[in-house]
Structure 1
Amino acid sequence: MKKHTLILSLAASAVLADTFSLGQINVLNTPIEESPFEEAITSDTMAKNNSKSVADALDNISGINADTQGGRAEQTLYIRGFDAKRIGVFIDGIPVYVPYDGNFDYDRFLTADIAEIDVSKGYSSVLYGANTMGGVVNIISKKPTKALEGEVKAGVVFDSDGALARRQTSLNIGTRQDHFYAQLGALYTDQDHYRLSDDFTATASQPEGDRLRSKNEDYKINFKTGYIADDGSEIAIGYSSQNGQKQQPPTTDTTFSKQKYWDWPYWDKETFFVNGQKNLGNGYIKALAYYDTFKNALNSYANSSYTTYNTFGSTFKSKYDDYSFGGRLEYGVELDKHFLTAAANYKKDSHEGYDISKTTDIATLSEHYVDTTLTFGLEDVYTLSSQWQILAGLSYDRREGDKIYDTNTAYLDMLTLKTQSSLNPEAAVIFSPDATTKIRASVAQKTYMPSMKDRYSRKFGTSVPNVDLDNEVATHYELSFQKNIGQYKTRVNAFFTRVEDAIQNVVYAPDPAYLQNQNVGTFDHRGIETELSYKSDTLEAGGNYTYISVKNCDNSSIKRIDVPKHQIFAFAQQDIGYNVALYGAMKFRKGAYEQKLDSSYVINPTFTTFDIKAIYTPTETITAEVGVKNLTDKLYQYDMGFPLAGREFFANIGYKF
């Protein structure tokens, strides 16, 4: 099939699909489920697994593990051992990670308005732009396909004592009128508390029963409208507003974490975008422009009353105003057996930190940093035959430090503006001996440009800034095998990654009383991912197993924390008649290192959790379900000192129209 024919067929299918295809970026111009490079979680899968947040959803993919950052009261992710700030996070192709430190609280983002989540590990499209060393997460929103369509959902969660713990509601409504479409989504969740497992033993900071300071609230509104031409060309504008507030539970073990009395009175994110694609005879032109803001406030109190501050010392009130704006221009064209894609990405990041008076609430600007990042990328897909394809990609990234303002005068003379750049090549070979099999070998070099926090932060007076940090460089090698046999699908990925010039916080030689971020590490990441699924008219089952080993080549005594060596996820859904189905899931995690405050390491206890539910669909438009999460009331924690919820009961109802 000619590539331009493929483009037109994809454009036509995009009109019929419920995913916002303008927001997708794929290595190959094929449906995501057929790609040997990306994996996708659909809205149906997220609903099946009762994945409340993006963190919950991604924790079920091979090679990915969720983690709780207890000291920040947020959920984060690791992809093949790479932490969140080394992962590019996008919503509809728009980079949304926090400009200051590159982090992203995956638990703040709910799934009810998401069509699918696309994930790339190791080898990813250079069209995304800079800082995708550890992988890419691209969250794709919904798009309507009918004159009037929508879905209303409501759910409640009860703790093991039967008390109402959480409520969640969502509305998605859309219309497709000839060439025009519009989509509106509204989501809300309110968590009063969660209850700990009955196996939890009270500590000085946490009694048995309800988890202290575990309230949070999130609501989101998003809207987009677009126009689709007869040839599939499309333009869309959109807006989303994500607002939240959260508390931080106290640590239950002060050998792992210092006791902090923090809360976030607001955690808000807002995005505007314009995105469009013009299809040409043998290619396309695509353009994106966006403006993304992140604002949050953090209060640190003197004690567990959460009402008082010390006149001097570690308590504080602060707020952060960050924003990014930028765009992407992309051009794809078929030239004989080649399909070439070129893109330019521009991104300006600004971070402002304010100290707030503990008595007058007057905010004073304490730090202001600005960076500009420019990326040029080129990809080629060379189709030798129906069985063989060769891919190559190359990107050039350049970041300019535009502004440094800091009222902290310590080491101020060391804060100078710097320019950094990187060249990132990648290549792959795909062999398809038949229509049901794909074998892929690839190598990709990716870089991580140190964040503003890496370069400038003094870490509350314990560290010396370092603007001379070099990029971390990762070289990913991977061999992948996919096979469909009747109702079975399987995938096996074997990977090895070497990371050079890894940034570590080490003793600052001129003054050993301080630490400093320096490029002193070499790490090897290696592992295997296996996936198997089966689907018939009445039974669907599947699962995955991941083995990951992360080794510090320079100092074996330094361990990568929070990454389990072994992780298993498995599920099964059986229709039992009378419009009723039973669903069960299991998660197993073993071998994650945790570090104590004295720098010693322990291994997080192995745990297995089980979820079950019954699903009733009396009509095609109504779905009701009841179930139990953490069926055995297992006491478990991702971050030592921050135990998670025990047994919970839930009920959900949804109506589609």
Structure 2
Amino acid sequence: MKYSILLLPLGWFFLLQSPLAAQQSDTLGLDQVVVTGTRMAQDASQISSSISVVDKGQLNASGHINVLPALVRHVPGLMVNDRSLLGFGVGPGSGGNISIRGISGSPNNRVLVLIDGQPQFMGIFAHPIADAYQKSDFERVEVIRGAAAVLYGSNAMGGAINLITDKGGKEGWSGQIGAASGSFGTHSFTGKVNFEKGKWQSLVSLNRSKTEGFRKDARDSFENSALFYKLSFQAEENINLMADFQLSDAVYYHPGTLASPLTEDRRAYLRGRVSLGVKNQGDRISGAALFFHNFGNHDFKSGFESTDFSQGFTLYQNLQLIPGQTLTLGIDHNRFGGEAVNPSLPPAAAKGLDITHRINQTDIYLQVEQSIWERLHVNVGLREINNAQFGKSTVPGFGFSYEFNPKYLLKMSSAKAFRSPSVVDLFLFPPSNDALNPETLWNHELTITRSIPDRDLEMDLVFFYTKGDNLIQIDPSESPPVNRNTGAFRNRGLESQVRYSPGETVDLVFNYSFLDVTDNVLFAPRHHLNMQVRRQIGKFSVTPFLQQVFGLNNSPQAEDETIDYTLLNIDLNYQVIENVSCYVLANNLFDTSYQLENGYPMPGINITAGINVEF
């Protein structure tokens, strides 16, 4: 079975070489405009890195209130560690781990999450907070699979997930209200109002979600209230001013493992974000000045408490002074840190108690893109890092894309990425070590895209090789154990995706990834297959989604066996009237018993029903 799955991507590719396919001539999807592969809007075909785009319709169709689970169906090689119907939680034993091509971490700090190109991570542990990203706030998501450090800096080792906030686009008042209820006492509410008049746009959204949890042996309830506000003003034809504010207030009960269930491990966490920016868009010069401040408070019943912050600015300009060439110059400054106390540690081990640690890092970067003969697009980039703790470092990257004709596209890239040591790595609690250097890796990849526009069919086939070095790991030979730059790994594999949309009533998305790793890596299955088909019949639509996973390590113990599982979900939607729809989400219909992380079972069959009203 496993070997037959390996042949699927190649089988799809050769299928597309049939004589019938050769009759087609136009492009499909290759000219989709993205903003994450570079610092400007550009056709995806001209960017050498692998990028997946999930648009607003796909996000809304998922039925999830959180944006991250909605991405898994559409992004090859991406896995998110769920724990329940709603909520991921924070701290040891929580979900929300993001893995791309087997690169994750514990804490989860090797995949960078951005909002409108600005980095989002907890100031002490340097990981994103998955529960802070509500689907209603965003109009699309662009995911770079593979190293993205030249443009986006630290933590973008496995890739970068750029959440692009909703830009409206409809004059006057518009909005949406939604409510849902389902298994295990799960409820959610979403409300969004957008107002646009002339040069102004104002958007506010409120989200409330809650579940009682499904564990009978432990308490695993979750609740979250979230607010998002955005204001933008088109000052001049080429100048746009913007500001936004985001707040998420969550309470999560960590249930513990099946062997050691917990009933009162309460974890409360408040996350906030404020940003200001100005963007300029001209024929030859474009760019932005973005300022951000992220903050958070964590309060656990165990006694752990923390306050953290991450603040800074991003300045960049794209210069198109020579025909076919774009020169991007940028500077990023980030100041991050915080204070944490953990009374469960002995007094001698409570390093950092009542002390706020801060780290300053300033990077400058340059990227040059050159189009040659309108078919060959070459890019070369360099980032120079200046970190107050470990000093200077250099990160290069280069690649090209070549359009053989409107139906064939070839991409190649090699890039270095890094992760700066976090505050907890350096200062807080054992086994911290203030002499650490950044983690690094090199990612190499080759992409072949085959497009058949008249059949509305497109396929990507990506081969990648990633080698990491200098990873921060605990050295148990020391007494007491201490963090050292001793880790290394090698990941290699392939990703395949087929998109087929013959009309407005049918779409198919199929993706498959194969991963070979040298180390025992969590949330990184050897074979991962997703297939989703949407069929529209009048006002009624049905969307089955099948996921197959083989060879998943769900335990850090190398001697434990890997697991396999198959999931089937079905989404049903009915358009009652023009602006009112109702839906039913039926998940895990095979009632599969599985654990993404050893000791933490996933829910069996569960059903959610809801209604959406647009105005």
> One fold, TM greater than 0.5?
yes
Q: Which amino acid counterpart does residue 550 of structure 1 have in structure 2? A: V
Q: 1:528 aligned to 466, 474, 494, which one?
A: 494
* Contact 2:390-2:436 at 8 Å conserved across structures: no
For the residues of structure 1 that align with 2:357 and 2:428, how far apart are their CA atoms? 11
* Contact 1:24-1:140 at 8 Å conserved across structures: no
Change (3 A) 1:249 1:192: same
User: 1:212: how far off?
Assistant: 2.4
- Pairing 1:635–2:602 present: no
Alignment correspondent of 2:290: 288
Alignment correspondent of 1:581: 541
Alignment correspondent of 2:417: 446
Which runs of structure 2 are paired with 1:553-564 in the superposition (5 Å)? 559-564=520-525
Q: Which amino acid counterpart does residue 175 of structure 1 have in structure 2? A: F
Alignment correspondent of 1:491: 460
Kindly provide the CA deviation profile for residues 544-591 of structure 1, in whole angstroms up to 9, marking residues without a partner as x. Answer: 001111114xxxxxx2233111111111111223x1111100111121
For the residues of structure 2 that align with 1:584 and 1:493, how far apart are their CA atoms? 26
* Worse-matched range after superposition: 368-377 or 140-149: 140-149
Kindly provide the CA deviation profile for residues 215-259 of structure 1, in whole angstroms up to 9, marking residues without a partner as x. Answer: 1111111111111245242110111111111100121035xxxx6
- Equivalent residues, number: 561
* Contact 1:65-1:77 at 8 Å conserved across structures: yes
Alignment correspondent of 2:265: 263
Kindly provide the CA deviation profile for residues 514-542 of structure 1, in whole angstroms up to 9, marking residues without a partner as x. Answer: 32222223211101000001112321112
For the residues of structure 1 that align with 2:135 and 2:218, how far apart are their CA atoms? 26
- Pairing 1:223–2:224 present: no
* Contact 1:496-1:527 at 8 Å conserved across structures: yes
Which runs of structure 2 are paired with 1:318-337 in the superposition (5 Å)? 318-336=304-322, 337=324
Q: 2:81 aligned to 35, 43, 67, which one?
A: 67
Provide the secondary structure at the position in 1 that maps to 2:541: strand
Which runs of structure 2 are paired with 1:246-645 in the superposition (5 Å)? 246-253=252-259, 263-300=265-302, 317-336=303-322, 337-354=324-341, 365-400=353-388, 418-459=389-430, 463=431, 465-486=432-453, 487-509=456-478, 511=479, 514-535=480-501, 536-552=503-519, 559-577=520-538, 579-595=539-555, 599-645=557-603
For the residues of structure 2 that align with 1:390 and 1:53, how far apart are their CA atoms? 36
* Contact 1:319-1:356 at 8 Å conserved across structures: no
* Contact 1:55-1:107 at 8 Å conserved across structures: no
For the residues of structure 2 that align with 1:140 and 1:264, how far apart are their CA atoms? 32
* Contact 1:25-1:125 at 8 Å conserved across structures: no
Q: Which amino acid counterpart does residue 485 of structure 2 have in structure 1? A: N
For the residues of structure 2 that align with 1:533 and 1:332, how far apart are their CA atoms? 32
For the residues of structure 2 that align with 1:642 and 1:155, how far apart are their CA atoms? 26
Gaps of 5+ in 1: 1-16, 160-164, 196-209, 301-316, 359-363, 401-417, 553-558
Kindly provide the CA deviation profile for residues 385-440 of structure 1, in whole angstroms up to 9, marking residues without a partner as x. Answer: 2111110110011211xxxxxxxxxxxxxxxxx33322010001110122343210
For the residues of structure 1 that align with 2:242 and 2:200, how far apart are their CA atoms? 10
User: 1:484: how far off?
Assistant: 2.1
For the residues of structure 1 that align with 2:56 and 2:371, how far apart are their CA atoms? 32
- Identity %, equivalent residues: 19
User: 1:51: how far off?
Assistant: 2.8
User: 1:192: how far off?
Assistant: 1.5
* Contact 2:218-2:263 at 8 Å conserved across structures: no
Question: Of the two structures, which has the highest relative contact order with CA contacts closer than 8 Å and spacing of 6 or more?
Answer: 2
For the residues of structure 2 that align with 1:145 and 1:324, how far apart are their CA atoms? 31
Alignment correspondent of 1:156: 181
User: 1:445: how far off?
Assistant: 0.9
For the residues of structure 2 that align with 1:354 and 1:74, how far apart are their CA atoms? 22
For the residues of structure 1 that align with 2:509 and 2:328, how far apart are their CA atoms? 35
For the residues of structure 1 that align with 2:482 and 2:343, how far apart are their CA atoms? 27
For the residues of structure 2 that align with 1:649 and 1:68, how far apart are their CA atoms? 16
For the residues of structure 1 that align with 2:510 and 2:65, how far apart are their CA atoms? 19
Change (3 A) 1:181 1:347: same
Q: Which amino acid counterpart does residue 397 of structure 2 have in structure 1? A: E
Q: 1:45 aligned to 58, 67, 80, which one?
A: 58
* Contact 2:93-2:256 at 8 Å conserved across structures: no
Kindly provide the CA deviation profile for residues 607-627 of structure 1, in whole angstroms up to 9, marking residues without a partner as x. Answer: 111011321113331221123
- Pairing 1:188–2:208 present: yes
Q: Which amino acid counterpart does residue 653 of structure 1 have in structure 2? A: I
For the residues of structure 2 that align with 1:622 and 1:656, how far apart are their CA atoms? 7
For the residues of structure 1 that align with 2:116 and 2:265, how far apart are their CA atoms? 30
Kindly provide the CA deviation profile for residues 447-470 of structure 1, in whole angstroms up to 9, marking residues without a partner as x. Answer: 1222222223444xxx4x322222
Q: Which amino acid counterpart does residue 544 of structure 1 have in structure 2? A: N
* Contact 2:252-2:267 at 8 Å conserved across structures: yes
Alignment correspondent of 1:308: none
User: 1:600: how far off?
Assistant: 4.7
Change (3 A) 1:534 1:285: closer
Pairwise CA RMSD of aligned residues?
A: 2.5
Which runs of structure 2 are paired with 1:22-101 in the superposition (5 Å)? 26=38, 29-31=41-43, 37=49, 38-60=51-73, 61-68=75-82, 71-83=92-104, 84-101=108-125
For the residues of structure 1 that align with 2:572 and 2:45, how far apart are their CA atoms? 28
Alignment correspondent of 1:652: 610
For the residues of structure 2 that align with 1:648 and 1:603, how far apart are their CA atoms? 28
Alignment correspondent of 2:13: none
Alignment correspondent of 1:119: 143
For the residues of structure 1 that align with 2:333 and 2:354, how far apart are their CA atoms? 27
* Contact 1:493-1:530 at 8 Å conserved across structures: yes
* Contact 1:123-1:442 at 8 Å conserved across structures: no
For the residues of structure 1 that align with 2:441 and 2:571, how far apart are their CA atoms? 42
Kindly provide the CA deviation profile for residues 82-101 of structure 1, in whole angstroms up to 9, marking residues without a partner as x. Answer: 11301111122222211211
Q: 2:154 aligned to 122, 130, 134, which one?
A: 130
* Contact 1:372-1:399 at 8 Å conserved across structures: yes
Change (3 A) 1:532 1:581: same
User: 1:131: how far off?
Assistant: 2.9
For the residues of structure 2 that align with 1:497 and 1:28, how far apart are their CA atoms? 27
Change (3 A) 1:54 1:627: closer
User: 1:354: how far off?
Assistant: 3.6
* Contact 2:473-2:486 at 8 Å conserved across structures: yes
Q: Output the TM-score relative to the length of structure 1.
A: 0.81
Change (3 A) 1:377 1:365: same
Provide the secondary structure at the position in 2 that maps to 1:591: strand
Change (3 A) 1:605 1:279: closer
Change (3 A) 1:32 1:389: closer
- Pairing 1:178–2:198 present: yes
Kindly provide the CA deviation profile for residues 340-363 of structure 1, in whole angstroms up to 9, marking residues without a partner as x. Answer: 0111001111211145799xxxxx
Change (3 A) 1:529 1:285: closer
Alignment correspondent of 1:310: none
Provide the secondary structure at the position in 1 that maps to 2:151: helix
For the residues of structure 1 that align with 2:243 and 2:577, how far apart are their CA atoms? 35
